[in-house]
Amino acid sequence: GQQLNQSPQSMFIQEGEDVSMNCTSSSIFNTWLWYKQDPGEGPVLLIALYKAGELTSNGRLTAQFGITRKDSFLNISASIPSDVGIYFCAGPNAGGTSYGKLTFGQGTILTVHP
């Protein structure tokens, strides 16, 4: 099946630093989704990307849909302690509509030191 590889697996940063993480696939995705999971909670959608080359922002978060359709990037500027959590990339499985099927990356664990 399709696989999404996220890197880095974990990050330890100081408050105020910028963060970059990415997600790559061996196959093409037509949609890229970025989720954040707070400790003890379910994932929450941060940003959705629908077009190759698209750059979308949500507050301090910016995500890009790679031109090759095989990768996506998420950047967080000026990190704050509440950015702590696990960040997942995800995309609908191939074959037309996803029919409820999403593939998730392994996640990037972000720790922010005050």
How many positions of this chain bind another protein (CB under 8 A)? Answer: 30
Matching residue, tokens 């061996």: 26
Burial (CB count <10 Å: 0-12, 13-18, 19+), residue 2: middle
Q: Is 28 in the site for another protein (CB under 8 A)?
A: no
CB of 13 to another protein, least distance (A): 20
Alpha-carbon radius of gyration of the chain: 14
Q: Which of 61, 66, 107, 112 binds another protein (CB under 8 A)?
A: 107
Stretch that binds another protein, among 14-22, 30-38, 54-62, 68-76 (CB under 8 A): 30-38
Query: Do 112 and 11 contact (CB within 8 A), yes or no?
Result: no
Matching residue, tokens 């702590």: 84
Nearer to another protein by Cβ, of 44 and 80: the residue is: 44
Q: Is 99 in the site for another protein (CB under 8 A)?
A: yes
Helix (H, G, I), strand (E, B) or coil at 83: helix
Q: Is 58 in the site for another protein (CB under 8 A)?
A: no
The whole-angstrom separation of Cα 28 and Cα 95 is 11
Which residues of the chain form contacts with another protein (CB under 8 A)? 1, 4, 6, 9, 30-31, 33, 40-45, 48, 50, 88, 90-92, 97-107
